[in-house]
Chain A
């Protein structure tokens, strides 16, 4: 069990490419931190720096009570689960899990006890322990990879997109297993993913990375309710948030999407930003279909996606060019070309500065 503290961590590759531009975060003991972002944002690099597989150019990394910047991966008391599992193909499952312990020089009985314990936690049978990795299914290999991490009894677990090689159904199942496992073992974990659903469901806190910068750090609900930037707003939530250019009136009471009626701004308005051009963000689930409401805005439908539980309606407000997605619950009989009265819930508007792309309210 240990805290992981990153202070001013930077990474510059020998070819002068700056991968990480300064990350500060304290991962509490037992916390599950998820690093999330699109490909190439530096999330894997950051994880590999914590693991010791990449050198740290600048800054200080502390695991437990020790600064580990210059320690070998095996000396950092960590365990890592790789994207393609990285199981040794020529060793049985048992030997795969025992290999690290053997190198540590533990006695045979201790190794056996630890492997058996991990196998029990992961519901691997004795018969499966004698098999080779290629004789296992994807989900079982994933379990073995986690088993190899568990037997080390590390103070930190590192996961590098461990579920991305699994099919959709198994991914949901393993996601739940990882969450349960982490909660039961209470081991500090850092998890890298590009999948925002995985991030939202697994993490106590999320760190959204974009091109080597930390966009926002917070709980999943904070990120959903108050995204700090356009990037986070667009990244978190599925289907993605709708954006439209808009203008706040002089008093800061209402907001107008170009060429449309004014919408009231919730909770006291934004007097300090009166008269400003902004980008307005509205989540698809915060748009309602209300017949006959006075403040409804007409929306022209172009496309409808039926998901069974929800119906996604794509279209745009009146003459506006910006695409708009509305999420309606249940099965709706809506066709392209229809005009729907849509009401925007005032409390769920997100307003961003078009230049800095940061949140205004």
Chain B
């Protein structure tokens, strides 16, 4: 837009700044709270500027844990979360790539029926099917394991649908050229389709990693052993952990830590992410 109206410019900047403040203020408070001693967080008014105990709090949160947590920090919870998020993201991408490949490139009976079956599961997120899924996982003996944490969340209609759309934009000649070059179906999949959907895979990885990392209800339900806790559910446990006033400084530090990996993934994969969602040239 080419316009020269100063009032409009000022107005739009005020709106933008307000938006940033609304998003950033809680994060700032979190950061401030994570840098004060425990006692300061119980006094009013709450501090608005960072205190001097950031690294002590970091040490407590990661390694020692707060009082009443048996001396365990949240470090292992971070690792659990990482393992779960990676397994979900990688698993979802692998399964969706294969199912989209089958749906787009093979002519088998009831092809469209299966496609719609997969599509319909969009209406069945884990929260809806939580009881039967729990039953299945429990019978398979996967409670309190990484498999139990990740497998029920791996099937993904969204990713299958997205890869289907990506594959449909790849010209048929690509397949024909590969056939003339003598590439079989899996070779074509591995050598041509996957490299050509590289950016889409990266974009989806970002979304799915964050989805996996932020899982709350499912891990809460199927883990009972503390060593399988994930960090997102860990925060909630901390509030109730000890029969005493919550240690806000440690809790906020944990929340800060829990935010870190998704932020890193977004920052480091940003360029691929944007490309993957916008690039059209094949």
B266 at the interface (CB under 8 A from A): no
Give the chain A neighbours of B176 by CB distance below 8 A. Answer: 51, 53, 73, 80, 82, 86
B57-65, B177-185, B205-213 - the one binding chain A: B177-185
Shortest C-beta distance, A27 to chain B (Å), equals 19
B156-189 vs A: 1/0 string, CB under 8 Å? 0000000000000001011011011111000100
B13 at the interface (CB under 8 A from A): no
Q: How far is the CA of A351 from the CA of B192 in the complex (A)?
A: 55
User: Given contacts A86-B173, A86-B177, are A104 and B196 in contact (CB under 8 A)?
Assistant: no
A134 at the interface (CB under 8 A from B): yes
Residue on A nearest B187 in the bound complex, by CB: A103
Give the chain B neighbours of A103 by CB distance below 8 A. Answer: 181-183, 187
B281 at the interface (CB under 8 A from A): yes
A87-99 vs B: 1/0 string, CB under 8 Å? 1111100000001
Residue on B nearest A84 in the bound complex, by CB: B173
CB pair B174 A88 closer than 8 Å: yes
B198 at the interface (CB under 8 A from A): yes
Q: Which of B173, B177, B191 has the most CB of A within 10 A?
A: B177
Give the chain A neighbours of B171 by CB distance below 8 A. Answer: 84, 86
CB pair A82 B187 closer than 8 Å: no
CB pair B281 A73 closer than 8 Å: no
Contact of A100 among B174, B180, B192, B282 (CB under 8 A): B180
Give the chain A neighbours of B196 by CB distance below 8 A. Answer: 88-90
Give the chain A neighbours of B173 by CB distance below 8 A. Answer: 82-84, 86
User: Given contacts A84-B171, A90-B198, A134-B281, are A78 and B180 in contact (CB under 8 A)?
Assistant: yes
B247-276 vs A: 1/0 string, CB under 8 Å? 000000000000000000000000000000
Q: How far is the CA of A84 from the CA of B174 in the complex (A)?
A: 10
Q: How far is the CA of A53 from the CA of B175 in the complex (A)?
A: 10
Shortest C-beta distance, A233 to chain B (Å), equals 34
Give the chain A neighbours of B198 by CB distance below 8 A. Answer: 90
A74 at the interface (CB under 8 A from B): yes
CB pair A72 B192 closer than 8 Å: no
User: Given contacts A86-B171, A88-B192, are A74 and B177 in contact (CB under 8 A)?
Assistant: no
Q: How far is the CA of A210 from the CA of B25 in the complex (A)?
A: 73
CB pair B179 A74 closer than 8 Å: yes
CB pair A99 B180 closer than 8 Å: no
Give the chain A neighbours of B180 by CB distance below 8 A. Answer: 51, 53, 73-74, 78-80, 100
User: Given contacts A51-B180, A89-B282, A90-B198, are A99 and B174 in contact (CB under 8 A)?
Assistant: no
Give the chain B neighbours of A72 by CB distance below 8 A. Answer: 179, 182
Give the chain B neighbours of A134 by CB distance below 8 A. Answer: 281
A1-41 vs B: 1/0 string, CB under 8 Å? 00000000000000000000000000000000000000000
Shortest C-beta distance, A26 to chain B (Å), equals 23
B195 at the interface (CB under 8 A from A): yes
Shortest C-beta distance, B192 to chain A (Å), equals 6
Shortest C-beta distance, B167 to chain A (Å), equals 14
User: Given contacts A99-B191, A103-B183, are A88 and B177 in contact (CB under 8 A)?
Assistant: yes
CB pair B177 A104 closer than 8 Å: no
A142-184 vs B: 1/0 string, CB under 8 Å? 0000001000000000000000000000000000000000000
Give the chain A neighbours of B177 by CB distance below 8 A. Answer: 80, 82, 86-88, 148
Give the chain B neighbours of A100 by CB distance below 8 A. Answer: 180-182
Q: How far is the CA of A72 from the CA of B182 in the complex (A)?
A: 8
Shortest C-beta distance, A82 to chain B (Å), equals 5
Q: How far is the CA of A84 from the CA of B171 in the complex (A)?
A: 9
Q: How far is the CA of A51 from the CA of B173 in the complex (A)?
A: 13
Q: How far is the CA of A88 from the CA of B187 in the complex (A)?
A: 14
Give the chain A neighbours of B195 by CB distance below 8 A. Answer: 90-91
Q: How far is the CA of A52 from the CA of B173 in the complex (A)?
A: 13
Give the chain B neighbours of A82 by CB distance below 8 A. Answer: 173, 176-177
Give the chain B neighbours of A53 by CB distance below 8 A. Answer: 176, 179-180
Residue on B nearest A134 in the bound complex, by CB: B281
Residue on B nearest A104 in the bound complex, by CB: B182
Q: Which of B182, B187, B195, B196 has the most CB of A within 10 A?
A: B182
CB pair B174 A74 closer than 8 Å: no
Give the chain B neighbours of A89 by CB distance below 8 A. Answer: 196, 281-282
Residue on A nearest B195 in the bound complex, by CB: A90
Residue on B nearest A99 in the bound complex, by CB: B181
Shortest C-beta distance, A152 to chain B (Å), equals 8
Q: How far is the CA of A88 from the CA of B171 in the complex (A)?
A: 11
Give the chain A neighbours of B281 by CB distance below 8 A. Answer: 89, 134
Residue on B nearest A160 in the bound complex, by CB: B173
Give the chain A neighbours of B183 by CB distance below 8 A. Answer: 74, 99, 103
Q: How far is the CA of A73 from the CA of B182 in the complex (A)?
A: 7
A274-317 vs B: 1/0 string, CB under 8 Å? 00000000000000000000000000000000000000000000
Give the chain B neighbours of A91 by CB distance below 8 A. Answer: 195
A residues whose Cβ falls under 8 Å from a Cβ of B = 51-53, 72-75, 78-80, 82-84, 86-91, 99-100, 103-104, 134, 148
16 A-B pairs with CB atoms under 8 Å apart are A53-B176, A53-B180, A73-B176, A73-B180, A74-B180, A78-B180, A82-B177, A86-B177, A90-B192, A90-B196, A99-B183, A100-B181, A100-B182, A103-B182, A103-B183, A103-B187
B residues whose Cβ falls under 8 Å from a Cβ of A = 171, 173-174, 176-177, 179-183, 187, 191-192, 195-196, 198, 281-282
User: Told that A72-B179, A90-B198, A104-B182 touch, could you supply 12 new A-B pairs with CB distance under 8 A?
Assistant: A53-B180, A73-B180, A74-B179, A74-B182, A78-B180, A80-B180, A84-B171, A86-B173, A88-B192, A99-B183, A99-B191, A100-B181
Q: Which 6 A-B pairs have the closest CB atoms?
A: A74-B182, A100-B181, A86-B173, A86-B177, A90-B195, A103-B182
